Amino acid sequence: MSPDSSTQREECPVTNDDLDLADAVLDTLEIASWSCSRPAWEPEKTGSSRCIRHTETAEKPLDELVDEINDGDLHGAIASKTVLSSLELPSSPGFVGADLSGAALVKVDLSGAALVEADLSGADLWGVDLSGATLADADLSAADLRKADLPVANLRGADLSEADLRYADLSEKDLSGVTLSQADIRGTTLEGLSANQGTTVGKMCPDPASPAEYDALAQAYHDLKEALSDEGLSQRARRARGLERQARTAEAWARFKTNAVLRRVNCGP
């Protein structure tokens, strides 16, 4: 005898089709037949049969959300602007196509994580361990990646525009198709990186204000120019050289204004 349909548990209908990824990518990530099937979260309130991970609302109880995150199967999860700092995850968690925009992920171990096409725009990833993570085509625009640990991370096609990359290690990274426009790369290690014609240098970072900060930015653009020259990307190297000169000009102007203020202070009324 079939159970009463009114007592049957509603299950989250999200599947690999909702991730909107090419079949080849799904096959590579071994999620070509992935589905969620977790219990619906408050369907009478949300009007949806989706689980708490996949419900499209920002008003989710953090304790319930964290309880549902701990198994590491988070493909397509929606946790925008959520404080997940120091969260303990299983090894190599899956966040393919997840929305983590504006989320705080400080001290979270994301080593080996699958973050393909994840939205991490504006996320706080300060000092996060991303070693071995797959960030291909991820949106990291305006993300805080200061001192992020990125060895063996896959960044191909990632959007790093306006990201804070200060003191991050991008040495030996493949930056093919990566966008660096307005990223803060002061103190970033760039030796041995690889790139291609799809790599975008873009505009100068607008954050520095003092002469010392502009000096550090100019040095960073110089290092980027050298790395791109080594890759035979002369046009991109020239663009980086142009940003280096722009930063030096801004440095000189900032130094002039600082000296002018000091002269007025020293001269008195």
* pLDDT reported for residue 86: 82
* pLDDT reported for residue 259: 78
* pLDDT reported for residue 5: 46
Buried b (16+ CB within 10 A) or exposed e, 142-171: bbbbbbbbbeebbbbbbbbbbbbbbebbbe
pLDDT in tens, the chain (269 residues): 444 544 567 899 999 999 988 898 889 888 999 999 899 999 988 889 999 999 988 678 888 888 777 777 899 999 999 898 888 888 889 999 999 999 999 988 999 999 999 999 999 999 899 999 999 999 999 999 998 888 888 999 999 999 999 999 998 999 999 999 999 999 999 989 999 999 999 999 998 989 999 999 999 999 999 999 999 999 999 999 999 999 999 999 999 887 777 666 777 55
Name the phi and psi angles at 41, rounded to 5.
-100, 115
Q: At what angle do helices 234-267 and 211-230 cross, to 10 degrees?
A: 170
| Residue 43: inside a domain | no
| Residue 79: inside a domain | yes
| Residue 163: inside a domain | yes
* pLDDT reported for residue 2: 47
| Residue 268: inside a domain | no
Domain residue limits at 86? 53-208
| Residue 2: inside a domain | no
| Residue 12: inside a domain | no
Tell me, what CATH number does 157's domain have? Answer: 2.160.20.80
Domain total in the chain: 1
| Residue 118: inside a domain | yes
| Residue 229: inside a domain | no
Determine which helix (DSSP H) or strand (DSSP E) holds 117, and give its type and residue range.
none
